[in-house]
Chain A
Amino acid sequence: MNDNLILLPVILQLALALMLLFFWSKTKWQRIGSMVGNTLFLMVAVYLFVKIYKNGVLFTQAGDWEAPFGITFVADLFSATMLVITALSGLAVSIFASGSMSRRRSLFVFFPIYHFLLMGISGSFLAGDLFNLYVWFELIIIASFGLITLGGGRRQLEGALKYVTLNLLASILFLTGIAFLYGLTGTLNMADLARKIPLIQNEGLLTITALMFFIGLGIKTAVFPLYFWLPASYHTPMSAVSAIFGGLLTKVGVYALFRVFSLFFLPDSFTATVITAVAALTLIMGAMGALIQKDTRKLFSWLIVCHIGFMIAGLGIYTTAAIAGAVFYLFHDILVKTNLFMISGLIHKISGTFKLKKLGGLYSQYPKITLLIAIPLFSLVGIPPLSGFWPKLLLIQGGMEIQGYLIIAAIILGSFVTLATIGKFWLEVVWKEQPAFTYKKHFIPFSQLPYIQKFSYVFPIGLLASVSLFLGFGAEIIIDIVNQIAFDLMNPDAYIELILPKE
């Protein structure tokens, strides 16, 4: 169905970012505007989701230029669910940032850049045209460059440098892939590509193009062996920024990989083998990296890398069950990873450090908060019936269908090492007694904060934890949705026919 309403999330974020720029020096208004705006964003996303769930795919052609000539925006169930999850994480980070950010830091226009970032992310979920997707990606990275350098300490600049270089290179490779594809088919509309690619005779060049896309998007997604920029940079910016990066940025890459490799580069045996091998190695390397970390945020960064492997594994196995599992994992992972980085920010505020060695005694100081952070940590490990369990079950079921025992072994190893890592984290942070330490100068610890600020630290963590709980206990509803998403991804004919009706 043709409906211009699907552009509303993008327009809302754009308007919000521009409006907040005018309140440059009034940080209180920026905070309130950001929270109210993201609540509206969540409402719009839920409205779109309900509409698409009931009526099927919505699309719009920019300027009424018909596909393949105009720019197409499409919102199917996958995009709509991603928008809802993004809005939830976005709202949580808005609240968290409002409480945790000093006035001096907010003056570096954090909130406007943050909303530009959310605009780019929502746009990339709606893009129905490959070049348009590239442009949204560039919007995301320029906004993320702004956020990662915000404040500009020396360590932060060093992390930013690695992040910027590798992301620029990834964009160049992605654009190279787009150029090849345009040379091969003469179109960049995704539905049109899906029609024209099966007609191409030159299969060798097509495989090269597919791998070019896999490398370009793979750097952004942080898969093995292209992930080294992630643990080198994600622990340097402030916690609110790490939270939104860790939760959403790599997942946008995963989303794009799913689109590209289900709609027009249908995996043949060669690309499927490459993707599966990369997934297994990502799981193992990420897990090994996480085991030896001594800093909470570095540990969580390595876990991001490790868990990207689960989603890519679903793409490599490529059965309906595995894709459904991977998509479920994607939703679960966005919520939990955002939450983990907010938790590390909260722990930093309580104890004044990120180093595991110097942390400790959280349970004796704040038993209720400890119980709260147990929810996302245990969902991350996948203890049944929490949200991490169901997607892994689906993934292993999918792996059984194609007898991919090696990838199943990697999935189980990845989960097991995650359990070991979280166990170590729990021992060090929660149960161990905190060694003697002094706060840095001018550092206001959590216990001395006013009530409202304490609330803004704990509330977003509770919000995302309760959504995670819903994903786990309401798995029947979610599995229903992800099965439909997986079915749509595996059978894209309806999508193609809708965008580009045959004469």
Chain B
Amino acid sequence: MEIILAVLIGFMYAAGIYLILRRSLVKLIVGLIILGNAVNLLLFLLGGITKGQPPVIGDAEKLLAGVYADPLPQALILTAIVISFGLQAFAMVLLQREYIQGGVEDLDNLKEEDEEK
């Protein structure tokens, strides 16, 4: 399971970075979304995957004993998902406004600001 996830995460990072290096605005945002998801999976993987051992304290016990799944990465991922959702929604609206106002879809043409008029 770890190996499959590790390969998947590597692939997602590669795909995300490839996409943000492309010239198209839409591919840029898709790349950022894929990278964001890859980070969440990475957090999940590095928190350690434990199957079928929920962190529940039984009636007879007072402490968690033995091997149990770490609940913290899930809390972290949940927070990160919510945050990246908001940021990505903003970025998409921004891209749309930029496209409507400027009509530019190619990042290479986004250099009006750097040129002296």
Q: How far is the CB of A129 from chain B (nearest CB, A)?
A: 11
Using an 8 Å CB-CB cutoff, how does the interface string of B80-107 with A read, 1 for contact, 0 for none?
Answer: 1001101110110011011001100000
Across-interface contacts of A157 in B (CB, < 8 A): 94, 97-98, 101-102
Chain B residues whose CB sits within 8 angstroms of the CB of A175 once the complex forms: 39, 43, 80
A168 to B98, CA, bound (A): 17
Partner of A294, one of B84, B90, B116: B116
Considering the chains assembled together, what is the distance between the CA atoms of A188 and B76 in angstroms?
11
Q: Check A158 against B98 for contact (C-beta < 8 Å).
A: yes
Q: How far is the CA of A191 from the CA of B103 in the complex (A)?
A: 50
Q: How far is the CA of A291 from the CA of B25 in the complex (A)?
A: 32
Complexed CA–CA distance, A236 and B113 (Å): 9
Is B46 positioned at the interface, with any CB of A under 8 Å from its CB?
yes
DSSP class of B's interface residues: helix, strand, loop or mixed?
helix
Can you name 16 A-B pairs with beta carbons within 8 Å?
Answer: A131-B76, A131-B79, A135-B79, A141-B87, A142-B90, A155-B112, A158-B113, A159-B113, A165-B28, A165-B32, A168-B87, A169-B35, A179-B42, A182-B47, A183-B47, A183-B48
CB-CB < 8 A to A183: which residues of B? 45-48
What string of 1s and 0s marks CB contacts (under 8 Å) between B42-65 and chain A? 110111100000000000000000
Known: A155-B113, A159-B113, A172-B36. A164 touches B90 (CB 8 A): yes
The smallest C-beta distance from A178 to any residue of chain B, in angstroms, reads: 8
Bound together, the chains give a CA A161 to CA B93 distance in angstroms of: 11
Q: In the bound complex, do residue B32 and residue A154 qualify as a contact, i.e. CB atoms below 8 Å apart?
A: no
Contact of A176 with B by CB under 8 A: yes
Residues of B within 8 A of A161 (CB): 25, 94-95, 98, 110
Q: What's the Cα separation between A186 and B47 when bound, in Å?
A: 7
Chain A contacts for B46, CB-based, 8 A: 179-180, 182-183
Question: Restricting to A123-176, which residues have a CB under 8 Å from any CB of B?
Answer: 131, 135, 138, 141-142, 145, 149, 152, 154-155, 157-162, 164-165, 168-169, 171-172, 175-176
A188 to B75, CA, bound (A): 13
- The complex places the Cα of A131 from the Cα of B77 at a distance, in Å, of 11
**Contact (Cβ within 8 A) B32 A169:** yes
A166→B45 CA distance, assembly (Å)? 26
A residues in contact with B98, CB < 8 Å: 157-158, 161
B108 at the A interface (CB under 8 A): no
Taking a contact as CB atoms under 8 Å apart, the answer to whether A158 and B102 are in contact is yes
| A500 is an interface residue with CB less than 8 A from chain B | no
Taken together as a complex, chains A and B put the C-alpha atoms of A152 and B101 apart, in Å, by: 10
Contact B110 A158 (CB under 8 A): yes
Determine whether the beta carbon of A172 is less than 8 Å from that of B39. Answer: yes
Known: A142-B86, A232-B114. A154 touches B102 (CB 8 A): yes
A168 to B91, CA, bound (A): 9
Q: Chain A residues with Cβ under 8 A from B113's Cβ?
A: 155, 158-159, 232, 236
Chain A contacts for B114, CB-based, 8 A: 232
CB closest residue in chain B, given A132: B79
Given A158-B102, A165-B28, are A138 and B83 neighbors across the interface (CB < 8 Å)?
yes
Which A residues contact B (CB, under 8 angstroms)? 131, 135, 138, 141-142, 145, 149, 152, 154-155, 157-162, 164-165, 168-169, 171-172, 175-176, 178-180, 182-183, 186, 188, 232, 236, 294
In the complex, what's the smallest C-beta–C-beta distance from A164 to chain B, in angstroms?
A: 5
**Which residues from chain B sit less than 8 Å from chain A, CB to CB?**
20, 25, 28, 32, 35-36, 39, 42-43, 45-48, 70, 72-73, 76, 79-80, 83-84, 86-88, 90-91, 94-95, 97-98, 101-102, 110, 112-114, 116
Closest 6 CB pairs of A and B: A183-B46, A179-B43, A179-B42, A138-B83, A157-B98, A175-B39
A142-B87 in contact (CB<8A): yes
Chain B residues whose CB sits within 8 angstroms of the CB of A138 once the complex forms: 83, 87
Q: Is the pair A182, B73 in contact by a Cβ cutoff of 8 Å?
A: yes
Given B76, B91, B97, B112, which contacts A152 in the complex, CB threshold below 8 Å?
Answer: B97
CB distance from B28 to the nearest CB of A (A): 6
Cβ-neighbour of B90 out of A145, A171, A236 (below 8 A): A145
Q: In the assembly, what is the distance between CA of A299 and CA of B104, in Å?
A: 27
Bound: A176/B76 CA distance, A? 12
Other-chain contact of A176, B42, B48, B94, B97 (Cβ < 8 Å): B42
Which B residues lie within 8 Å of A188 (CB)? 76
User: Does A165 contact B80, Cβ atoms closer than 8 Å?
Assistant: no
Q: How far is the CA of A259 from the CA of B79 in the complex (A)?
A: 23
Q: How far is the CB of B40 from chain A (nearest CB, A)?
A: 8
Q: Give the nearest-CB partner of A152 in chain B.
A: B97
In the docked arrangement, what's the CA distance between A188 and B47, Å?
12
A141 (CB) vs chain B CBs: closest residue: B87
Of chain A, the residue at the smallest CB distance from B88 is: A168
Taking A142-B87, A172-B32, A183-B45 as given, write out 14 further A-B residue pairs in contact, using a Cβ cutoff of 8 Å, ordered by the A residue number. Answer: A131-B79, A135-B83, A145-B87, A145-B94, A154-B101, A161-B94, A165-B20, A165-B28, A168-B88, A169-B20, A169-B32, A179-B39, A182-B43, A236-B113
| Complex Cα–Cα for A294 and B115 (A) | 11
State A339–B23 Cα separation when bound (angstroms).
37
Asked if residues A176 and B39 are in contact (CB atoms below 8 Å), the reply is yes
Closest to A149 in B: B94
Q: Return A133 CB to nearest CB of chain B, in Å.
A: 13
List residues of chain A with CB within 8 A of the CB of B97.
Answer: 149, 152, 157
Which A residues are CB-close (under 8 A) to B79? 131, 135
Q: How far is the CA of A176 from the CA of B38 in the complex (A)?
A: 9
Residues of chain A within 8 A of B28, CB atoms compared: 165
A169: B residues at CB distance < 8 A: 20, 32, 35
Q: Shortest beta-carbon distance, A438 to chain B, in Å? A: 17
Q: How far is the CB of B23 from chain A (nearest CB, A)?
A: 13
